[in-house]
Amino acid sequence: MPEHTIDPNQWIHLYSDYLFNYTISRVNDREIAKDLVQDTFVAGLNSMKNFKGQASERTWLISILKRKIIDYYRKINSNKGKAEIRMSYSGDENEGDWLEERVADPYDKTAEDDLENNELGNAIYECLSKLPAKQAEVFKMKTILNYETEAICNELNITASNLWVIVHRARTAMAECMKKNWF
Amino acid sequence: MKKNILFISCEEAKHICDKNQYGEASFWEKFKLGLRLSWCKITRAYTKNNNALTKCIEDSKVDALNQQELDDLKQAFEKQLGNQH
């Protein structure tokens, strides 16, 4: 019996930011990252019958997204020529697909800082996903998107003191969660 | 009871500490927080965790979709979802 179920109605709410953060750290372009996330959701929808429930929905969507990122790099590399794709290979024993490994395996990243930032970003989203929806939304707007207090209050129709109470609860929970998983 | 202008409660200190993470605490608030930090272990522990969280988020360069982008994505996806049914 499958361990995980699939519900595309929840995808945007649950996974958009996680997938977007995953993508933008690999393609460094906001518009392209948005397109790739959208393509991933559509591809996921079209291949729902292939979901076996052995991995979580998020893991399954990430595997689709990785293919999308690979396709994106293939496309831009095919425009530039193939030389760049094989540059990290030195011998016959190391045969494989450099591009695929670069996307699939974060240990192939050239800079250690990038790897750590990606993992840190994942840990933050992991903790954020455990917060109540309202707290997560306010925390994201205030801390990640750097919105002004007034703008958040107007958008969510809450008072400033209400916002700070929510921020306080969210920060306390986030710090606790990050302490367990990261600090 | 008259509110002491120098000494603040632990809750107020935490509130100022939160505001300070976003650069929204005034000089006077920071002064009162500093005073409390000099003797209150609980405020010190909270501030330490709070600062660590801020540093973590800054270091990660974590990004997210804004509301408009999220709405656009939702709209496009719901269209696809509708086509499936």
Domains: count for chain A? 2
Is residue A132 predicted with pLDDT exceeding 60?
Answer: yes
Classify burial at A146, counting beta carbons within 10 Å of its beta carbon; exposed 0-12, middle 13-18, buried 19 or more.
Answer: exposed
Residues A47 and A10 in one domain: yes
pLDDT class of A110 with cuts at 50, 70, 90: low
**Host domain of residue A58:** 1-108
Identify the DSSP state of A106: G
Q: Is the pLDDT of residue A134 over 70?
A: yes
CB contact under 8 A, B15 and A164: yes
Report chain B residues whose CB lies below 8 A from the CB of A168.
14-15, 18
Task: Please indicate if any CB of chain B lies within 8 Å of the CB of A43.
Answer: no
The answer to whether A41 and B77 are in contact (CB under 8 A) is yes
Q: Is A17 in the same domain as A74?
A: yes
Find the range with the poorest average confidence among A12-21, A40-49, A70-79, B19-28. Answer: A70-79
- Are residues A116 and A103 part of one domain? no
A88 and A129 share one domain: no
Q: Which of B62, B66, B73, B79 is best to mutate for the A interface (most A CBs within 10 A)?
A: B62
Q: Does residue A86 sit in the same domain as residue A117? A: no
Cβ neighbours of B54 (radius 10 Å): 16
Q: Is the complex ipTM higher than 0.90?
A: no
Same domain as A128, residue A104: no
Residue A154 sits in a domain of what CATH number? Answer: 1.10.10.10
Confidence of residue B80 (pLDDT cuts 50, 70, 90): confident
pLDDT in tens, A10-48: 999 999 999 999 999 899 899 999 999 999 999 999 998
Smallest CA-to-CA distance from B52 within A15, A21, A2, A180 is with A180
Chain B residue with minimum CA distance to A48 = B84
**Do residues A100 and A120 share a domain?**
no
pLDDT of amino acid A3: 77
**Residue B83: pLDDT band with limits 50, 70, 90:** confident
Residue A97 shares a structural domain with residue A119: no
* Residue A81 clears pLDDT 80, i.e. is over it: no
> Is A174 touching B (CB cutoff 8 A)?
yes
Last residue of a domain, one of A86, A108, A130: A108
DSSP 8-state class, residue B23:
T
Mind telling me how many Å the CA of B18 is from chain A's nearest CA?
7
